[in-house]
């Protein structure tokens, strides 16, 4: 049975609040001006699958993880608080100690039934990550919701939903790694949390010194939204042969580019062709750029806020479609190299001056790269995860056809691949597949999935 056809039922316990295991300070902490921008004001779902481990027989994963979360919240106590909004839409965490939402559940399904190769979108996600009424807003709601679902085989699934204004993917992994260490008996996390959100806040007075075309105000002249049931979602897998085939299509001086840069350029170009953009339409490739090492000095180890800024490459559709792959690749590399300390500071200043704008949507393709996060290595005592990462292959629910994730993936043979997910209207997807496969000369996609409400 394909995992997309899997049907199962889940019995849930009553949602509870898990608060810190010891008293924590009641205080107010400002988020950074990168944290509280409009495009990060959403709930980010993640999911982890674990096999049965005979050596853990008699241990309840839900109980072990719940207790470890309470211990971790002593160190990460802002996660037990609530977001408040002040003048100028400025967000602050009130460290109330109320706790995060925790659910334990049992499903009448085994891990094997999900298939040999796990990747998004996952069937019946709403059963594995229950949307507790009243918890889904950014303001005045719990900052984390975690559900642990036991499986019939002894394995289990952890699904979480993070208020993105609090942390990015790296920050979430840092928190869950701390939970895992405490679950295995550590007295404190090996990496202690660092707040220091002022490091990514605006100057006084703020001054914008870069153009930041990722936040251009562009009118959407198309105005048509494809119904979700007419959208197709596919996952593409790239190993050494496919990457090598793409590198051969770019000039020699560009062949030392990263896999992320290469695949980004490839998908940006092929997507532009597939959607049938007008020749003079301005196409944007926007990506989340990790700035932890780019800041001067680098952000301290343990920083668990949003350590990312948006960067963008722009081109008329005609040039993207008519030029070879190297054209798009040069634009992507240039956009990445433009992210300097001054660029980072200027973007934080822009948030204050422009009222925390959303990124440009018309003509945009936006990508989040999580290939370098140690997602699979989080071990609560049952071993490393079989899959750990985004629960959906899209970044934004309300605009699903403009985004992709780049993920690390290991197939059934134990071979590492880069997986790239993409969502498009069905006719555009067919054209996109043809474009990608013409560049690779062999199939590299999984079974196709059509979005349903539950898959999102």
Q: Which residues are catalytic?
A: 164, 379
Q: Which residues contact 12 (CB under 8 A, 6 or more apart)?
A: 103, 104, 105, 130, 147
What pairs with residue 195 in β-bridges? none
Torsion sign, CA atoms 286, 287, 290, 293? negative
Q: How many helices (H) and strands (E) in the chain? A: 9, 17
Pair type for strands 156-163 and 416-425: unpaired
Residue 99 zone, left/alpha/beta (φ > 0; ψ -120 to 50; rest): left
Tokens of 114: 């999900």
CA–CA–CA angle 91, 45, 260 (5° rounding): 95
Q: How far apart are CA 5 and CA 114, in angstroms?
A: 9
Which residue is associated with the tokens 């499903």? 107
Helix or strand or coil: residue 16? strand
């Amino acid at each position: 049975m394909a995992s997309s056809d899997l049907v199962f039922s889940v019995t849930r316990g009553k949602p509870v609040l898990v608060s810190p295991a010891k008293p924590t300070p009641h205080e107010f902490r400002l988020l950074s001006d990168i944290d509280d921008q409009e495009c990060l004001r959403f709930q980010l779902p993640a999911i982890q699958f674990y096999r049965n481990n005979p050596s853990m027989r008699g241990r309840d994963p839900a109980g072990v993880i719940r207790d470890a979360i309470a211990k971790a919240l002593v160190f990460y106590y802002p996660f037990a608080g609530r977001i408040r909004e002040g003048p100028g839409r400025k967000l602050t965490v009130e460290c109330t100690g109320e706790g995060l939402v925790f659910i334990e559940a049992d499903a009448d399904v085994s891990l094997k039934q999900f298939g040999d190769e796990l990747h998004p979108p996952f069937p019946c996600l709403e059963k594995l990550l229950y949307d507790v009424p009243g918890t889904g807003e950014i303001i005045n709601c719990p900052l984390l919701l975690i559900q642990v679902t036991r499986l019939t085989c002894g394995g289990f699934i952890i699904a979480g939903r993070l208020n993105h204004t609090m942390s990015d993917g790296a920050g979430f992994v840092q928190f869950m790694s701390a939970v895992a260490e405490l679950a295995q008996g550590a007295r404190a996390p090996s990496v202690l949390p660092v707040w220091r959100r002022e490091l990514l806040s605006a100057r006084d007075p703020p001054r914008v010194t870069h153009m930041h075309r990722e936040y251009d105000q562009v009118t959407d002249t198309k105005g048509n939204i494809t119904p979700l049931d007419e959208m197709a979602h596919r996952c593409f897998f790239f190993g050494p042969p496919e990457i090598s085939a793409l590198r051969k299509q770019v000039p020699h001086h560009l062949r030392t580019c990263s896999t992320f840069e290469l695949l980004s350029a490839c998908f940006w170009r092929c997507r532009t062709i597939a959607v049938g953009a007008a020749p003079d339409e301005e196409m944007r490739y926007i990506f989340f750029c990790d700035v932890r090492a780019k800041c001067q000095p680098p952000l301290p180890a343990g920083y668990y806020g949003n350590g990312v800024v948006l960067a963008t490459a722009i081109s008329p559709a005609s040039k993207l479609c008519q030029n070879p792959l190297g054209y798009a690749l040069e634009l992507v590399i240039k956009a990445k190299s433009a992210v300097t300390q001054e660029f980072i500071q200027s973007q934080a200043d822009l948030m204050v001056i422009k009222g925390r704008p959303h990124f440009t949507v018309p003509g945009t393709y936006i990508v989040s790269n999580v290939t370098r996060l140690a997602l699979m290595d989080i071990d609560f005592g049952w071993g490393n995860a079989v899959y750990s990462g985004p629960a959906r292959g899209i970044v934004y629910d309300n605009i699903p056809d403009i985004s992709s994730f780049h993920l690390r993936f290991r197939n059934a043979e134990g071979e590492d691949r880069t997986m790239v997910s993409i969502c498009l209207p069905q006719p555009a997807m067919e054209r996109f597949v043809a474009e990608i496969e013409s560049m690779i000369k062999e199939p590299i996609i999984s079974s196709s999935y059509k979005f349903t409400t539950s898959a999102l």
